[in-house]
Amino acid sequence: MMTELRQSITKLFLTAVLCLSVLMNAFAEGEKIIVVSHGQANDPFWSVVKNAVSLAGEKMQVEVDYRAPETFDMVAMAQLIEAAVQQEPEGLVVSIPDADALGGAINKAVEAGIPVASMNSGADVAADLGVLFHVGQNEYDAGLGGGAKIKEMGIKKLICINHEVGNVALDERCRGVTDGYGSEVEVIPTAANTVDDVYAKVKATLQAQDDIDGIITLGASNSAEPAMKAIEELGLQDQITVGTFDLSANVLEMIRDGKIAFAIDQQQFLQGYLPIVHLALNARYKVLPGGDLPTGPGFVTQGNAADVIDLAAKGLR
């Protein structure tokens, strides 16, 4: 009797698993979510986002496609969004570094009935453009915290390095840094995402102004790392306190070793992962988050840097 009961339970379990598998495959059939960002997947920051997009696609059993212009180019990005609209995906994820340049393309997606989520940049404009929800950090608030933190360290003259002029999110970061610091902060613009120019501008600025004792960079590999190269070549590492936005493997090691004071972590893995999950759930069950999903800011300091170094090496932080 017990053997027959076990057999019956086993059959019911296997039937349930088969039904669930068929149901999931039915939901997944033909579903596609396209991601269009302003950041290239070969950039260490954006590679984490792309890895998260791919992982979420696997977990949710949907086809995902990550696209970005070859350089920071809003015209090209708008064209990529419009091309995605033509493919009629079940969901579209966009970053919005410049609402004026991208708003028209995003509106076309919304008018076509494509569910749109935004990530990373554009929290302040997403709702006005018809975006369903935003995943990211408030850039001004993150800058506010960073400016206040470096002020507490006794910094007398602070500069902010903007490595991607025209990216409104980075403007907001610098604005927040200035307000959090509470005094004038000179913004040093460089050629977009050009590490050699960041290095050259930082070096020239420090040679011209020997009273600078603090630097905030707005990115990790594309800004903090070349800035640190300039500082070390000038032998100023003991005189200048550096804080940065975002993480890279090298930046984490510098924080662990006390060379960089802190990094503001926006957890970009979540920015790639969560929109895929929620757009897939929306396609299947017509459910959505009740609001935007904040992923930061948080601070990585010497006290906790070692905890995330292994994950960064795997492309997940």
Lowest mean pLDDT across 9-18, 123-132, 275-284: 9-18
Give me the DSSP letters along the chain. Answer: -HHHHHHHHHHHHHHHHHHHHHHHHHHHTT-EEEEE-SS-TTSHHHHHHHHHHHHHHHHHT-EEEEE--SSS-HHHHHHHHHHHHHT--SEEEE--S-HHHHHHHHHHHHHTT--EEEESS-TTTTGGGT-SEEEE--HHHHHHHHHHHHHHTT-SSEEEEESSTT-HHHHHHHHHHHHHHTS--EEEE-STT-HHHHHHHHHHHHHH-TT--EEEES-IIIIIHHHHHHHHHTT-TTT-EEEEES--HHHHHHHHTTSS-EEEE--HHHHHHHHHHHHHHHHHH----SS-EE---EEEETTTHHHHHHHHHTT--
Is CATH 3.30.830.10 the right assignment for the domain spanning 31-137+267-296?
no
pLDDT of residue 5: 35
Give residue 168's pLDDT band: very low, low, confident or very high (50, 70, 90).
confident
CATH topology of domain 139-265: Rossmann fold (3.40.50)
Q: What is the pLDDT, as a whole number, of residue 190?
A: 93
Judge if 31-137+267-296 and 139-265 fold alike in CATH terms.
yes
What's this model's pTM, rounded to 2 decimal places? Answer: 0.75
Tell me how far apart the terminal alpha carbons of the chain are, to the nearest angstrom. Answer: 54
Q: Which one is predicted more confidently, 262 or 29?
A: 262
What are the structure tokens assigned to 235, written together? 């032998």
pLDDT beyond 80 at 143: yes
User: Is the pLDDT reported for residue 263 higher than 70?
Assistant: yes
What average pLDDT does the chain have? 90
Looking at the predicted structure, is the pLDDT value of residue 28 above 90? no
Over residues 149-177, mean pLDDT: 95
Percent of the chain scoring above 70 in pLDDT:
90
Share of the chain above pLDDT 90, in %: 79
The pLDDT assigned to 257 comes to 97
User: What's the CA gap between 317 and 304, in Å, rounded?
Assistant: 13
94 has pLDDT over 70: yes
Spell out the domain ranges in the chain.
31-137+267-296, 139-265
- Report how far apart, in Å, the C-alpha atoms of 271 and of each of 53, 96, 155 are: 9, 13, 32
* Residue 17 scores a pLDDT above 60: no
Whether the per-residue pLDDT at 131 is higher than 70: the answer is yes
Question: Is 51 a residue whose pLDDT tops 70?
Answer: yes
pLDDT at 30: 61
Interval 146-154 mean pLDDT? 97
